[in-house]
């Protein structure tokens, strides 16, 4: 598969005339070469193919001995917002909006991703029509040539179109905005160029039928590798389902915006004067609704929309007044609760046949007469509130650790609430009387994990989110600064310190190592200041990040819960002795290394293990047959076991 891996080629595959020194130097200076993340005008031609081939081979040469796999990143959540911050004057805004929306739909068809256009920042993806040098280091070249470029999620995911082009919403004349946008959005989602000339992600734009653009199988495999399939499970509010997520998001609501009849005007209530809510929720099309008595409001960023409040009975077919609670599922449906009944409505607010049903029949172990419900952002699981208690629901029944007191979330919360929800910004809010509270997941323990050279924290955080489900533990994945790296010909990239060479006798960047170690130690101390003891923190990392984790731990004067060092080495090892190692000489260390690691060799791993055994009293080394400079499922299982043992729930 070409979208995630480097090609398997060697220097014998390349003719010498393809590599003039001037050409190579230009490409080194311009890593984001046009065929990588920009879209060029015209159909397939041999010159473009030749440039692509040279580009891929050059990347192989430049990164063969680096510490990381060079690949696109991806978004860690499925509901994304976008804004068109600057329009072209060549098309009406409505045409641009519709065309961009169609382009996003191409990617929604085969994935669980959902996109919603908003009118004000912040948005996940910023789309703009710009000209020439526009401030991102990737200037456009006027009409023809480069049409657009996009940035991977780790760099913000923004999409820029060359405003010098003659953009049209269809392919008949000018430059087809629909086709170019669909391709660039692929980059914004983390896909690289495909070598399959029929794929949407090929580095030249394709023709398409009257039915519109559809993803090629190569595009689908890449997309679903990153985000999973478009199939969503039925509503199972289960704590055993790690993929439970907030509902799908569309752009607009289909409900009629006509105002209420004049005869109802005197009955309307002002939510600002009487802000005690029955429930509040975000439905599947991204609209936020607040309910009170027989009225409801559609909310916006600042207040509520014109024409509201409206009567629930006018727009919500069969839904009762005076609701108790509401919560969404991962198909965009919304569940409403009142007394011993619940109703189910789809993403557009239309009632699904067969409802209401009795809670005792359809949702086993869920009590009647709820006070509130919400999806908690920290684990994307459903939580329910009644009286002074709350609990996480499972279709297998409540676990013996539930229910808990609401005040266990925070002593500042009242012991009974009226409403709760997760808003589109990912934050959770609890309402009690005229007051509301913004909350986050309580996590009394932390794992700080440092990425390898050239990566960012985004490279590891999705893995921890999906596979390391610890309700009491928060994973922190900081980003290294960007700096020139000697090992990679002075290229600027995310790096904790400079690396000159690999090996126990290689020259080391002592000042850089000590500076970054101090930053990590400051991060630990900041966690301590907000109430997390150091002995409830595990510090770990991969490759260069693992090396920094080792050095930072062994020079830190507060005891940690554990240290995880993956595929790494001990920096400045000559400066350590059993006498000068910090209190963390007694801290458990898990060291993991691949037997086929060609970057940080097995020999380096074994030498590091011998040093740690001499310096520390609790060290375990595991070598994994066949594993290169990466991770494997068994290693992840060993990490989980280590974390579970040393950070048990209190």
Q: 597 and 462, same structural domain?
A: yes
Residue spans of beta strands (DSSP E) within 511-641: 537-542, 562-566, 589-594, 619-624
Average pLDDT over residues 113-121: 88
Number of domains into which the chain is organized: 3
pLDDT tens track for 226-277: 887 754 323 333 323 322 222 222 222 222 333 333 334 435 556 556 668 8
Is 149 marked as binding a ligand? Answer: yes
Q: 449 and 421, same structural domain?
A: no
Q: Is the pLDDT of residue 166 over 80?
A: yes
Q: 473 and 415, same structural domain?
A: no
Rounded to whole angstroms, how far apart are CA atoms 184 and 192?
10
Last residue within a domain, chosen from 416, 439, 462: 439
How high is the pLDDT of residue 575?
93
Q: 94 and 17, same structural domain?
A: yes
Is the C-alpha dihedral spanning 479, 482, 485, 491 positive or negative?
Answer: positive
How high is the pLDDT of residue 1?
27
Which residues have a Cβ under 8 Å from the Cβ of 504 and sit 6 or more positions away?
569, 573, 604, 607
Beta pairing class for 562-566 and 537-542: parallel
Residue 415 is part of a domain; what is its CATH number? 2.110.10.10
How high is the pLDDT of residue 376?
81
Is 339 marked as binding a ligand? Answer: no
Cβ neighbours around 266 below 10 Å, total: 6
Rounded to whole angstroms, how far apart are CA atoms 512 and 552?
12
How far lies 201's CA from each of 5, 146, 179, 221, 504, in Å? 15, 15, 11, 12, 42
Is 278 marked as binding a ligand? Answer: yes
Percent of the chain residues past pLDDT 90, beyond the cut? 33
pLDDT tens track for 472-497: 888 888 889 888 999 888 888 889 99
Of the pLDDT bands very low, low, confident and very high (cuts 50, 70, 90), residue 304 is confident
Task: Show the domain range for 146.
Answer: 1-229
Residue 13 is part of a domain; what is its CATH number? 3.40.390.10
How high is the pLDDT of residue 185?
95
Is 55 marked as binding a ligand? Answer: no
Is 280 marked as binding a ligand? Answer: yes
Q: Please give the positions annotated as active site.
A: 184
Is 165 marked as binding a ligand? Answer: yes
Q: 453 and 429, same structural domain?
A: no
Q: Which segment of 34-43, 199-208, 221-230, 582-591 scores lowest on mean pLDDT?
A: 34-43
Is 16 marked as binding a ligand? Answer: no
Q: Tell me if 238 is assigned to some domain.
A: no
Q: Tell me if 234 is assigned to some domain.
A: no
State the pTM of this model: 0.42
* pLDDT mean across residues, the chain: 77
Q: 308 and 403, same structural domain?
A: yes
Q: 285 and 205, same structural domain?
A: no
Cβ neighbours around 543 below 10 Å, total: 27
Q: Which segment of 20-34, 318-332, 351-365, 512-526 scores lowest on mean pLDDT?
A: 20-34
pLDDT tens track for 21-33: 343 333 333 333 3
Q: 456 and 403, same structural domain?
A: no
Q: Tell me if 215 is assigned to some domain.
A: yes
Q: Is the pLDDT of residue 320 over 50?
A: yes
Is 57 marked as binding a ligand? Answer: no
Last residue within a domain, chosen from 207, 229, 251: 229
Rounded to whole angstroms, how far apart are CA atoms 92 and 649?
57
Higher pLDDT, 201 or 121: 201
Of the pLDDT bands very low, low, confident and very high (cuts 50, 70, 90), residue 499 is very high
Last residue within a domain, chosen from 377, 405, 439: 439
Q: 449 and 389, same structural domain?
A: no
Q: Tell me if 31 is assigned to some domain.
A: yes
Q: 615 and 473, same structural domain?
A: yes
**HSE, side-chain direction, 13 A CA sphere, residue 559:** 9
Q: Tell me if 253 is assigned to some domain.
A: no
Of the pLDDT bands very low, low, confident and very high (cuts 50, 70, 90), residue 16 is very low
Residue 464 is part of a domain; what is its CATH number? 3.40.50.1820
How high is the pLDDT of residue 328?
86
Is 240 marked as binding a ligand? Answer: no
Q: 427 and 284, same structural domain?
A: yes
Q: 123 and 148, same structural domain?
A: yes
How high is the pLDDT of residue 394?
64
């Amino acid at each position: 598969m070409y979208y995630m891996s480097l090609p398997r080629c060697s220097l014998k595959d390349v003719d010498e005339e393809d590599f003039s020194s001037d050409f190579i130097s230009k490409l080194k200076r311009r890593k984001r070469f046009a065929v990588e993340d920009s879209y060029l005008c015209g159909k397939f031609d041999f010159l473009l193919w030749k440039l692509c081939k040279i580009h891929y081979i050059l990347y192989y040469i430049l990164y063969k001995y680096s510490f990381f796999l060079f690949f696109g990143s991806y978004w860690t959540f499925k509901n994304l917002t976008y804004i068109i911050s600057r329009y072209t004057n060549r098309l009406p805004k409505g045409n641009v909006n519709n065309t961009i929306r169609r382009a996003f739909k191409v990617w929604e068809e085969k994935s669980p991703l959902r996109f919603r256009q908003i009118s004000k920042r912040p948005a996940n993806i910023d789309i703009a029509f710009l000209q020439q040098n526009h401030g991102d280091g990737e200037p456009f070249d006027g009409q023809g040539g480069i049409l657009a470029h996009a940035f991977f999620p780790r760099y913000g995911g923004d999409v820029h179109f060359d405003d010098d082009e003659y953009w049209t919403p269809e392919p008949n004349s000018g430059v087809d905005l629909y086709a170019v946008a669909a391709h660039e959005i692929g980059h914004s989602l983390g896909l690289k160029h495909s070598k399959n000339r029929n794929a949407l992600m090929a580095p030249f734009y394709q023709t398409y039928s009257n039915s519109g653009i559809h993803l090629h199988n190569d595009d689908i495999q890449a997309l679903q590798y990153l985000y999973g399939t478009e199939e969503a499970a039925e509503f199972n509010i289960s704590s055993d389902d790690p993929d439970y997520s907030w509902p799908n998001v569309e752009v607009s609501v289909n409900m009629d915006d006509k105002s209420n009849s004049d005869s109802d005007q005197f009955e309307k209530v002002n939510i600002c004067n009487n802000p005690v809510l029955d429930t509040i929720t975000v439905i599947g099309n991204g609209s936020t609704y607040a309910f009170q008595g027989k009225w409801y409001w559609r909310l916006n960023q600042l207040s509520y929309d014109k024409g509201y409040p409206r009567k629930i009975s006018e727009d919500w077919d069969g839904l009762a007044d005076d609701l108790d609670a509401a919560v969404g599922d991962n198909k965009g449906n919304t569940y409403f609760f009142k007394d011993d009944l619940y109703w189910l409505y789809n993403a557009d607010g239309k009632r699904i046949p067969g409802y209401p049903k009795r809670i005792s029949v359809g949702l086993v172990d869920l009590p009647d007469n709820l006070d509130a419900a919400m999806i908690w952002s920290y684990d994307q699981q459903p939580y329910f509130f009644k009286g002074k208690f709350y609990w996480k629901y499972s279709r297998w029944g409540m676990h013996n650790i539930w229910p808990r007191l609401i005040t266990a979330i925070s002593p500042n919360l009242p012991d009974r609430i009226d409403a709760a929800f997760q808003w589109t910004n990912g934050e959770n809010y609890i309402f009690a009387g005229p007051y509301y509270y913004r909350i986050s997941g309580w996590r009394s323990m932390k794992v700080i994990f440092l990425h390898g050279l050239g990566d960012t924290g985004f490279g590891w955080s999705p893995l921890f989110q999906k596979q390391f489900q610890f309700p009491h533990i928060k994973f922190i994945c900081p980003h290294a600064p960007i700096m020139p790296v000697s090992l990679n010909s002075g290229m600027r990239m995310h790096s904790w310190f400079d690396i000159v060479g690999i090996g126990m006798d290689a020259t080391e960047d002592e000042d850089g190592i000590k500076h970054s170690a101090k930053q990590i130690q400051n991060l630990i101390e900041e966690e301590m200041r907000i109430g997390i003891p150091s002995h409830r923190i595990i510090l770990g990392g991969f490759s260069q990040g693992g090396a920094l984790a080792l050095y930072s731990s062994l020079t830190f004067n507060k005891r940690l819960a554990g240290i995880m060092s993956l595929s790494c080495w001990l920096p400045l090892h000559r400066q350590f002795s059993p006498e000068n190692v910090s209190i963390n000489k007694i801290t458990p260390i898990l060291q993991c290394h691949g037997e086929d690691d060609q970057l940080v060799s097995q020999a380096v791993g074994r030498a590091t293990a011998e040093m740690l055994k001499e310096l520390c009293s609790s060290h375990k080394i595991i070598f994994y047959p066949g594993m290169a400079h990466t991770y494997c499922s068994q290693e992840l299982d060993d990490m989980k076991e280590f974390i579970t043992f040393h950070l048990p729930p209190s």
